Structure 1
Amino acid sequence: MLAELVHSIADFANQALLAYGLSSSRRAPDAMHPYGYSKERFVWSLISAVGIFCLGSGATIVHGFQNLWSSHLPENIHYAALVIGGSFLIEGASLLVAIKAVKKGAASEGMTMWDYVWRGHDPTSVAVMAEDGAAVTGLAIAAASLVAVQTTGNAIYDPVGSIIVGNLLGMVAIFLIQRNRHALIGRAIDDYDMERVLQFLKSDPVVDALYDCKSEVIGPGFFRFKAEIDFNGVVLVQNYLERTGRGEWAKQFREAAMSKDDTALLKVMANYGEDVVEALGSEVDRLESEIQKIVPGIRHVDIEAHNPEGVFK
């Protein structure tokens, strides 16, 4: 019962931390954090998991071992049974709500519930479900310990139950620590989504080659994608001339070439070069827009023009 009391206190404190993390992560981007504060929920989820490990698991296991050789039959066991029963109903209801939230998150990311638990981009709802699941399981273990004590008259089942509950909390904490660690150190987006984006870029006529393609999760369901592209200059110019009209530019170049000095020709070439650069910018905007349509969660796309020779001449 003491193990479950410690567990309940830790559970309350941890979910308060999760609520604070959710609130903090919704702050708008600013100059200091241009990509927003979405990752702050991962920080508080990690702190919550460490709290479960230290307070919930550590204290419970230590208490269990301390009482292995000095345990005695609990008094007022019927009151303990009533507390466990009431707690089971409350925690069970909370667990059902958490499961519903996880299912909703899995559906929004097109994953099965199992995959979402292990690879989903929002560990907060998974943390709540894991904590509530551990709470319900812990209550069942506490109830089984009390039944064993009452049936056998051997008080050792009480601290043994405490140790089992502590180990259960430890496993949940380690799982949550790992989930949040991956989120904080910058995990890439799923291979399936990354492959879709790369296939689109490789199949686009204006793209000759791709270099240094990277992605990063910057929040629950929010991603950043970066790529260096070797653009096909011939296709780029052809697309531009089709939009603006080949005849007009041909006329300007012919007239400038017939001039006795190079001033007119240099002016036309400068105007043409500026328009080609703007055309490159338009192609970049088009590619970025298409990438965000393929994976709507990609909020930031950084495309750079790659110099194949690696040195500007």
Structure 2
Amino acid sequence: MASDSSKKTIFAAMGANLAIAITKFIAAAITGSSAMISEGIHSVVDTGDQLLLLLGIHMSQKPADDRHPFGYGQELYFWTLIVAILIFAIGGGMSIYEGITHLINPSPLENPKWNYIVLVMAILFEGFSWTIALKEFLPTKGEQNFWQAIKNSKDPTVFTVLFEDSAAIAGLLVAFLGILLGHLLNNVYFDGIASIIIGIILAVVAVLLARESKGLLVGESADPQTIANIRSLCKTQSGVKEVIRLLTMQLAPQEVLLNLEIQFTKNLTGEEIASTVENLEAKIRHKHPEIKLIFIEAKSLAATRKSVENDEKK
């Protein structure tokens, strides 16, 4: 399940984007700026994206049933993928189209000061939203570098908002520069070029988001540190001789499925094996409460020897 802090990040971004979108379209109507129209489209898409993320969080919290025995946690990953597609198709595509249209049929800017006012306000609002997303993301980063932390993150809501806000700030700076150069040099083409660059920025961000969402949606494992910790806990558990196979799958940001194939030590009774399994499960759940489902398969010494002998004969 996504945390309350994730929802806070989304609501902050949604409020900022909605307010910015309105002011951008007003400025675009007054000045006729292509870059400003692109920025307005960008903010509308971002607002819709945050609504889809909230929908994903809501859908992922449905309880497990007969058709979905492991729950609906991956609904969140699906809707994050849809968000990436919308950013690419609507945000990036329409911005590039608007820029090309402006280059083919250029029109002079009117009252560009309104664009400057709106862009500065938008940068401040987006900066506020970006700061909140960054504060939520940094505690999960640990000693990893920024890109590793994003790749290993299992909560797409936070890094999606962080990506969107980063793209928004970059787009605003490009729009500001395009309008400024067009105004100073009296060149109507800079505005259209800025719109195309904004579209390219959005398309790149969308591809990165889609890549991360796809990995989670098709069944990504838990992060490497969690896997290493589980293996270490198994090795220190009395009665466990060897961890033959350890499989994990991320079902939701705070839900992991764990499958263990373990070789127990010799001469354990059935009761001792049951006690060992129970103690091991308790240790794992205490250390990693996000692991909701644990399946442990016992491997006997005789079966292991037979498997090794068969492999040697091949």
- 1:212 aligned counterpart, secondary structure: strand
The corresponding residue for 1:252 is none
Residue 59 in structure 1 maps to residue 74 in structure 2 = no
Q: Do residues 309 (structure 1) and 303 (structure 2) align?
A: yes
Distance in 2 between residues matched to 1:32 and 1:279, nearest whole Å: 35
Please report how far the alpha carbon of residue 175 of structure 1 lies from its aligned counterpart in structure 2 after TM superposition. 0.9
Indicate which of 76, 82, 98 corresponds to 2:111: 76
Bigger Cα displacement from structure 2, 130-139 vs 162-171: 130-139
Code of the aligned partner of 1:219: A
Following superposition, the deviation at residue 145 of structure 1 comes to: 0.5
In the TM superposition, residue 90 of structure 1 has moved relative to its aligned partner by: 2.1
What amino acid does structure 2 have at the position aligned with 1:35?
F
User: Residues 61 and 166 of structure 1 are in contact (CA less than 8 Å); yes or no, is this contact kept in structure 2?
Assistant: yes
Amino acid at match of 1:188: S
SS in 1 for 2:103: coil
Deviations 1:4-58 (A, max 9, x none): 1111111111111011111222223333323222221111111011100000011
Residue 289 of structure 2: aligned partner? 296
**Can you give the 5+ residue segments of structure 2 that lack an aligned partner in the other structure?**
1-35, 307-314
Q: Which residue of 1 aligns with 2:230?
A: 197
Shift of 1:222: 2.5
Structure-2 residue corresponding to 1:178: 211
**Kept after mapping to 1: 8 A contact 2:230/2:284:** yes
Given residue 14 of structure 1, which amino acid in structure 2 is its aligned partner? D
**Aligned match of 2:188:** 155
**1:13 and 2:7 correspond:** no
Secondary structure at 1:68 match in 2? helix
Give the corresponding residue for 2:126. 91
SS of corresponding position for 2:247? strand
Q: What are the ranges of 5 or more consecutive residues in structure 1 without an aligned counterpart? A: 238-276
Amino acid at match of 2:282: S
1:54-108, Cα deviation, whole Å (9 max, x unpaired)? 000111112212332322221221222222222222222222222222224x16x
1:212 is aligned to 245
1:145 aligns with 2:175: no
Q: Could you tell me how far 1:203 is from its partner in structure 2?
A: 4.1
Amino acid at match of 1:309: A
Q: Shift of residue 111 of structure 1?
A: 5.2
Question: Bigger CA drift: 196-205 or 10-19?
Answer: 196-205
- Per the TM alignment, residue 290 of structure 1 is displaced from its structure 2 partner at its CA by 1.7
Kept in 2, the 8 Å contact 1:103–1:113? The answer is no
Task: Give TM-score scaled by structure 1 length.
Answer: 0.79
Aligned to 2:273: 280
Give 1:280 shift. 2.3
Secondary structure of the equivalent of 1:73?
A: coil
Instruction: Quote the residue 1:222 is aligned against.
Output: 255
1:274 maps to none
TM-score by length of 2: 0.79
CA distance in 2, matches of 1:61, 1:194: 44
User: Amino acid of the residue matched to residue 184 of structure 1?
Assistant: L
Q: Is the 8 A contact 2:109 2:183 kept in 1?
A: no
Question: What RMSD over aligned residues (CA atoms) do the two structures have, in Å?
Answer: 2.1
**Which amino acid in 2 is paired with 1:139?**
L
* The 10-residue stretch of structure 1 (122-131 or 189-198) with the greater mean CA deviation from structure 2: 189-198
- Please point out which of 35, 42, 50 is paired with 2:70: 35
Distance (Å, rounded) in 1 between the aligned partners of 2:123 and 2:243: 55
Distance 1:113 1:29 in 2: 36
Deviating more after overlay: 94-103 vs 41-50: 94-103
- 8 Å CA contact retained: 2:151, 2:212: yes
Aligned partners of 2:239 and 2:273 also within 8 Å? no
Which of 265, 275, 281 is the aligned partner of 1:232? 265
Tell me: CA distance 1:14–1:137, structure 2 relative to 1, closer, same or farther (3 Å): same
2:157 alignment counterpart = 124
2:130, 2:243 → 1: CA distance? 46
Which of 1 and 2 has greater Rg? 1
1:178 to partner: Cα distance: 0.9
